[in-house]
Structure 1
Amino acid sequence: MVPDQMKTPTPLDVLVIAPHPDDAELGMAGAILKFKAEGKKVGILDLTSGEPTPHGSLEKRAAETAAATEILGVDWRDNLGLPNRSLEATLAAREKLASVIRLLRPNWLFAPYWDDAHPDHIAATQLVDAARFWSKLSKTDMPGEPFHPQRIYNYYCVHLKMAPQPAFVLDISEYWEQKLASIGCYHSQFIEGRPTEYPTFLDKLHDEASYWGKVIGTRYGEPFTSREPIGMTSMSTLV
């Protein structure tokens, strides 16, 4: 069953599902900020606490997540409480996530890219795919009414040294500084114990965002993909 704090439905347009606190910020904070500016209802569901890590603690990570959430201004955020470092797409985890989807009823789901060196990220994407299907089931004791999100999109937050081939790149130039500020909230993950000489972790993030901006002719960008075809009613918003 889902945690008690999740049982009050908060209908959303977008639900970003992250293996760990900070993955949503790393992969698509710019998109989240842009969605909010467009008036969309946006939520983030972290699947695990992200702990243990070398410089973190449950208390630190909770405070960092709260600070980043305030910068993003999302309408809802919670944690599913699944185990860090041993995340699996089990039937029990699938039911918990499908129950949240049925309660929040988001049109769009965002999950990590499916190819990754981190097993938690791979499991998270498998879990999202399966839970999306389960969320529409009838004759079940899961809470809420059957619901099937229209789309799953995948953001890149990977540990592989790979060259992504995205389906589209979103212009986040207007929101880059806020994205960087939200990531900077996770001091225990991206600042403590990391090299201070150039290029730092944050320098590399800047370079990546600049590269994706260059690809589409803007200052900064975020890449996304999808296993499903992406439909369009107009070409007028292409950059």
Structure 2
Amino acid sequence: MLDALIIAPHPDDAELGAGGVILKLLAEGKRVGVLDLTSGEPTPHGSPELRARETAAATEVLGLPWRENLGLVNRSLEPTLENRAKLAGVLRRERPRWLFAPYWEDAHPDHTAATKLVEDARFWAKLTKCDLPGEPYHPERIYYYYCVHLKLAPQPAFVLDISEVWEQKLAAIRCYHSQFVTGRPTEPPTFLERLRDEAAYWGKAIGTAYGEPIATREPLALRSLAGLV
């Protein structure tokens, strides 16, 4: 059973949008997994074999004990009934308490399709009298991480302080050399420099070095204010 399952349209999305969440939860002793929905290929400088090696390297850097790929089709990801059943089956098998999905507004069709798929599968996973494998289960919450292709000005529900794990998150992202280094402009600011600046912006917003924004559709419940920065 997982405490948290980060669901990503492509390998590297989990690292980009929720790498800090993953590392912080693991440091707290939580059971964390990543489910990539597609291989992420084709891309201009990648291949299925290369992306698999990059994903394995990033998984090792993060220290993830659980990572799977649902095997859906990149660039054609849709929240179909068949895909919903596949994902709901994983939720019933692994029984995560929290789900992390891409933010619901994006220019990338795979990302918005993934968000819809996660929300629908969460509902289906609790159904009785159906042909889904396993016992009914309903994850408590969905959180949404930002890995978007729009120039948004997000208003997150909260910002997680990732200062002490930032370098490790960046190391995991660097594993995807074919996506973030090869063929990208080398003049500053580079893609990775902009990523650092964005994390620093969110850190400044909460008075720390680096931050990671997270959104929700449902209200958050607090037992006390002791955990607030």
| Superposition TM-score tier, normalisation by shorter sequence | over 0.9
Which residue type is aligned with residue 7 of structure 2?
Answer: I
Q: Aligned partners of 2:62 and 2:171: how far apart in 1?
A: 9
Displacement of 1:31? 1.1
Q: Deviations over 1:175-221 (max 9, x none)?
A: 00000000000000000000111000000000000000000000000
Q: Look up the SS of the partner of 2:142 in the other structure.
A: strand
Segment of structure 1 superposing worse, 72-81 or 206-215:
72-81
Q: Aligned partners of 2:42 and 2:64: how far apart in 1?
A: 26
Aligned-residue sequence identity (percent) comes to 73
Q: Look up the SS of the partner of 2:37 in the other structure.
A: strand
Q: Aligned partners of 1:154 and 1:109: how far apart in 2?
A: 8
Residue 235 of structure 1, aligned match among 202, 225, 229: 225
Displacement of 1:75? 1.9
Q: Deviations over 1:45-74 (max 9, x none)?
A: 000000000000000000000000001111
The equivalent residue for 1:98 is: 88
Q: Does 1:115 align with 2:141?
A: no
What aligned pairs does 1:11-90 form with structure 2 within 5 A after superposition? 11-90=1-80
Displacement of 1:162? 0.9
Residue 183 of structure 1, aligned match among 153, 173, 183: 173
Q: Look up the SS of the partner of 2:196 in the other structure.
A: helix
Give the TM-score of the pair, scaled to structure 1: 0.95
Q: CA RMSD in A?
A: 0.4
The equivalent residue for 1:204 is: 194
Q: Look up the SS of the partner of 1:79 in the other structure.
A: strand
Q: Look up the SS of the partner of 1:32 in the other structure.
A: helix
Q: Look up the SS of the partner of 1:28 in the other structure.
A: helix
Q: Look up the SS of the partner of 1:12 in the other structure.
A: coil
Which residue type is aligned with residue 76 of structure 2?
Answer: S
Displacement of 1:125? 0.2
Aligned residues: 229
Displacement of 1:139? 1.0
Which residue type is aligned with residue 230 of structure 1?
Answer: L
Residue 214 of structure 2, aligned match among 204, 224, 230: 224
Q: Does 1:214 align with 2:204?
A: yes
Q: Aligned partners of 2:51 and 2:214: how far apart in 1?
A: 26
Q: Which runs of 5+ in 2 are unaligned?
A: none
Which residue type is aligned with residue 99 of structure 1?
Answer: G
Displacement of 1:108? 0.1
Displacement of 1:141? 1.7
Q: Aligned partners of 1:30 and 1:224: how far apart in 2?
A: 11
Q: Which runs of 5+ in 1 are unaligned?
A: 1-10
Displacement of 1:143? 1.1
Deviation beyond 4 Å, 4+ runs, structure 1: none
